[in-house]
């Protein structure tokens, strides 16, 4: 369960209460926060710009007494880090050669690894830094002596951990991150994965939002983690105010943020995912192209190596791992996502009808989740195109195990939506085929094997295609992304096939919320919404095998496992290429305690599930076997729109994989775990 064994590193941003122009006092507070971060398992702690003396001391920067006191304070901080894990970034003014520089000292285990001067000095509005400091480009020396030790000096430094693969730190200061091309951009192209910004940044109205956009946007463009820490309480309020804003972002996502305007010391922390950053950079070929375009400049960056030492913390992950990665936890975001998904589906189907010149569709309506969503999308599409809903030819086709309530819901749904609804009993044709096959069922035996099931699924699809021929229509597919991933679909002339499938890249967990959103949107009649609510409340079943003597009907999730887990596995394995052991670790973080994270509103009261490690690993093993073993079905999947950044499994889009690959490598890694 170690954070570090699973590709994460813990980083922190610290905002101490400042005592203006008293470096010794500030050093004590800095040391206290460093020790706190070390106790919490952090490997990086970032402090504000000029935090040892204060950003707002103005002309006092040119006082030798203050400069000397800052140097002594730095010595105290350096000594206090001996034996501690974190790399510590503190801000102070330093004289190098003939110039005074606004610097960040990068410290680890009782030594200064390097000193980074500020590159861009603001000199507009309330800022007058060029009055006090020289810019990094003005420095002739490439080293500086600190406490008798010569260390690298410059804005071109990358600090790499030898014992944590993927941890490469670049440090810049305030305005450096606000310019068009921040120095950290070049560092990221050169391999830096963690970008730190020590900032002063007085607060003004609207700046809080701008900072968030700036930090999340920069981390997204550079595919990096970003730690930003601004000056807080204690800075001079002669003409300005300070809010102590600290943010940790990763590839466009905000992981942690401090409380604004706090009057106490603050420290925020989060675990950043180095595996995710590595995977994203590896896939982003356009990023590699830029590396090639600027290779000469990037090669000139200097690299300083160090080791963290033992990283064996057994701790809960400090980041939210959503149980439902395809479904936003926030209700507002979720509604927006559902509206966008529906629009993509409608747009895709509308274009397919327009390009073919066909104005009718045939759809099988089972009374289950998938066909219900596809039918609702069809209705919205025909309304948008100005076509009559009667051109939607819905067929419910009861088989040997179709329940009375399921059949009733199918008819109510079609009738309430105003489509052309009909019923075709497929049992006679299925009985004929089973007889032709000399199947035991045809001789009166209760043999409900895969042939018995697939005869029904295939017969339904065969009817739909011939109905489409007969009516000049196309067959609208209903199968979803989760079923494709698991291979839970009948190949060929079965429920895997259609002329166009609007659900092909929509996972089962998202389908449930799409229907729930359509219920609350108020676009449908009371009769429609009532039957939609019934459909959501029923178990997921293919209804191909008759109920047992105990009356229990066939359950898909009893056979293949919970879709909520499989969608979780699917997302992390296909979207990020994670090792199975890491997927298991993340699933334990997400599903081991339902109180952990803002997802409780996504679950009905009777569905607030928890899973232990054995259950998670069992179903993950099932997923891996089924996923690798059913690629041949996905290779032949019909057209349909890609829905989300989580990807699709279309061989023409996101997922190209051999149909003959074995799951053995993935299953072995799951058994070994991350320490192997």
pLDDT band at residue 267 under the 50/70/90 scheme: very high
Q: What pLDDT, on a 0 to 100 scale, did the predictor assign at position 314?
A: 60
Angle subtended at Cα 122 by Cα 153 and Cα 269, rounded to the nearest 5 degrees: 65
The answer to whether 43 is a known ligand-binding residue is no
Residue 129 neighbours by CB distance under 10 Å:
20
pLDDT digits (tens, 9 = 90+) for 535-547: 999 999 999 999 9
CA-wise closest residue to 487 among 273, 660, 632, 311: 632
Q: What pLDDT, on a 0 to 100 scale, did the predictor assign at position 313?
A: 65
Q: Is 118 a catalytic residue?
A: yes
pLDDT at residue 625 above 90?
Answer: yes
State the alpha helices, DSSP H only, in 40-140: 64-80
Q: What pLDDT, on a 0 to 100 scale, did the predictor assign at position 2?
A: 83
Give the span between the Cα atoms of 57 and 102, in whole angstroms: 13
Contact 519, 533 (CB under 8 A): yes
The answer to whether 525 is a known ligand-binding residue is no
Q: What pLDDT, on a 0 to 100 scale, did the predictor assign at position 309?
A: 87
Q: What pLDDT, on a 0 to 100 scale, did the predictor assign at position 597?
A: 52
Q: Is 446 a catalytic residue?
A: no
The answer to whether 371 is a known ligand-binding residue is yes
* Residue ranges per structural domain of the chain: 7-306, 331-672
Q: What pLDDT, on a 0 to 100 scale, did the predictor assign at position 149?
A: 96
Residue among 43, 49, 235, 459 flagged as catalytic: 49
The answer to whether 15 is a known ligand-binding residue is no
Give the span between the Cα atoms of 162 and 621, in whole angstroms: 33
For range 381-387, the mean pLDDT: 98
Topology annotation, domain 7-306: Nitrilase/N-carbamoyl-D-aminoacid amidohydrolase (3.60.110)
Token reading at 210: 């701008």
pLDDT at residue 530 above 80?
Answer: yes
Q: What pLDDT, on a 0 to 100 scale, did the predictor assign at position 673?
A: 81
Residue among 53, 89, 118, 453 flagged as catalytic: 118
Contact 201, 174 (CB under 8 A): yes
pLDDT band at residue 187 under the 50/70/90 scheme: very high
The answer to whether 367 is a known ligand-binding residue is yes
The answer to whether 478 is a known ligand-binding residue is yes
Q: Where does residue 415 rank: exposed (0-12), middle (13-18), buried (19+ CB within 10 A)?
A: middle
Q: What pLDDT, on a 0 to 100 scale, did the predictor assign at position 377?
A: 98
The answer to whether 543 is a known ligand-binding residue is no
pLDDT at residue 596 above 60?
Answer: no
116: β partners: 104
CA-wise closest residue to 255 among 271, 243, 267: 271
The answer to whether 368 is a known ligand-binding residue is yes
pLDDT at residue 676 above 50?
Answer: no
Pick among 3.30.2320.20, 3.30.70.380, 3.40.1190.20, 3.40.50.620: CATH of 331-672:
3.40.50.620
The answer to whether 201 is a known ligand-binding residue is yes
Give the span between the Cα atoms of 73 and 61, in whole angstroms: 15
Residue 651 neighbours by CB distance under 10 Å:
15
pLDDT at residue 601 above 90?
Answer: no
pLDDT at residue 675 above 60?
Answer: no
pLDDT at residue 374 above 80?
Answer: yes
Q: Is 49 a catalytic residue?
A: yes
DSSP 263: S
Give the span between the Cα atoms of 178 and 205, in whole angstroms: 17
pLDDT digits (tens, 9 = 90+) for 473-499: 999 999 999 999 999 999 988 889 999
Give the span between the Cα atoms of 676 and 667, in whole angstroms: 13
Q: What pLDDT, on a 0 to 100 scale, did the predictor assign at position 603?
A: 47
Token reading at 418: 């105003």
Whether this prediction's pTM lies above 0.85 is answered by: yes
Residue 540 neighbours by CB distance under 10 Å:
18
Residue among 43, 53, 89, 174 flagged as catalytic: 174
pLDDT at residue 383 above 80?
Answer: yes
Q: Is 9 left (phi over 0), alpha (psi -120 to 50) or beta?
A: beta
339 contacts: CB under 8 Å, gap ≥ 6:
517
Return mean pLDDT, the chain. Answer: 94
pLDDT at residue 44 above 90?
Answer: yes
Contact 321, 586 (CB under 8 A): yes
């Amino acid at each position: 369960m170690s954070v570090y064994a699973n590709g994460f590193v813990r980083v922190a941003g610290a905002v101490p209460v400042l005592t203006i122009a008293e470096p010794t006092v500030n050093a004590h507070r800095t040391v206290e926060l460093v020790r706190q971060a070390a106790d919490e398992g952090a490997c990086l702690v970032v402090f504000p710009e000029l935090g040892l003396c204060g950003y707002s001391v103005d002309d006092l920067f040119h006082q030798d007494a203050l400069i000397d006191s800052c140097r002594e304070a730095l010595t105290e901080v350096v000594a206090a880090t001996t034996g501690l894990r974190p790399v510590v970034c503190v801000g102070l003014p330093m004289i190098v050669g003939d110039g005074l520089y606004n610097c960040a000292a990068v410290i680890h285990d009782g030594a200064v690894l390097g000193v980074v001067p500020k590159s861009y000095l603001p000199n507009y509005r309330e800022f007058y830094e060029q009055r006090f400091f020289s810019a990094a480009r003005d420095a002739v020396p490439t080293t500086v002596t600190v406490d008798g030790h010569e260390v690298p000096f410059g804005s071109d430094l990358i600090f790499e951990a030898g014992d944590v693969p993927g941890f490469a730190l670049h440090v810049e200061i305030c305005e450096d991150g606000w310019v068009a091309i921040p120095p950290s951009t070049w560092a990221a192209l050169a391999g830096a994965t963690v970008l730190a910004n020590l900032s002063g940044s007085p607060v003004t109205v609207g700046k809080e939002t701008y900072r968030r956009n700036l930090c999340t946007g920069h981390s997204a463009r550079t595919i990096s983690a970003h730690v930003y820490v601004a000056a807080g309480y204690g800075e001079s309020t002669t003409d300005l105010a300070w809010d102590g804003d600290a943010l940790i972002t990763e590839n466009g996502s905000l992981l942690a943020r401090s409380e604004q305007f706090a009057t106490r010391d603050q420290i925020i922390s989060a675990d950043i995912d180095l595996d995710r950053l590595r995977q994203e950079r590896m896939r982003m070929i356009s990023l590699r192209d830029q590396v090639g375009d600027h290779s000469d400049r990037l090669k000139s960056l200097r690299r300083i190596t160090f080791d963290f030492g033992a990283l064996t913390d057994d701790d809960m992950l400090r980041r939210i791992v959503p149980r439902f990665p395809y479904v936003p936890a926030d209700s507002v975001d979720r509604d927006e996502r559902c509206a966008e998904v529906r629009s993509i589906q409608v747009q895709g189907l509308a274009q397919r009808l327009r390009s073919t010149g066909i104005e009718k569709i045939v759809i099988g309506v089972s009374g289950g989740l998938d066909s219900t969503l596809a039918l609702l999308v069809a209705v919205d599409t025909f309304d948008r195109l100005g076509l009559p809903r009667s051109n939607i030819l819905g067929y419910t086709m009861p088989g040997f195990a179709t329940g009375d309530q399921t059949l009733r819901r199918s008819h109510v749904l079609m009738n309430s939506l105003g489509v052309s609804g009909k019923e075709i009993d497929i049992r006679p044709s299925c009985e004929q085929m089973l007889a032709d096959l000399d199947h035991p069922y045809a001789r009166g035996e209760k043999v409900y094997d895969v042939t018995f099931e697939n005869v029904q699924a295939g017969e339904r699809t065969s009817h739909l295609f011939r109905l489409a021929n007969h009516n000049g229509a196309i067959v609208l597919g209903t199968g979803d992304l989760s079923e494709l991933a698991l291979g839970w679909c009948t190949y060929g002339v079965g429920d895997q096939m259609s002329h166009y499938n609007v659900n092909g890249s929509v996972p089962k967990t998202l389908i449930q919320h799409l229907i729930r959103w359509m219920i609350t949107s108020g676009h449908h009649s009371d009769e429609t919404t009532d039957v939609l609510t019934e459909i959501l409340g029923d178990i997921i079943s293919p209804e191909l095998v008759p109920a047992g003597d105990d009356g229990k009907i066939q359950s898909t999730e009893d056979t293949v496992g919970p879709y909520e887990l499989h969608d979780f596995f699917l997302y992390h394995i296909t979207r990020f290429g994670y090792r199975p052991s890491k997927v298991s670790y993340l699933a334990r973080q997400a599903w081991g305690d339902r109180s952990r994270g803002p997802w409780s509103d996504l679950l009905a009261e009777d569905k607030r599930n928890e899973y232990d490690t054995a259950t998670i690993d069992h179903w993950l093993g099932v997923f891996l076997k089924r996923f690798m073993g059913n690629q041949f079905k996905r290779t032949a999947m019909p057209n349909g729109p890609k829905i989300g950044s989580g990807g699709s499994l279309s061989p023409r889009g996101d997922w190209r994989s051999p149909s003959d690959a074995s799951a053995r490598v993935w299953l072995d890694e799951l058994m070994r775990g991350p320490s192997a």
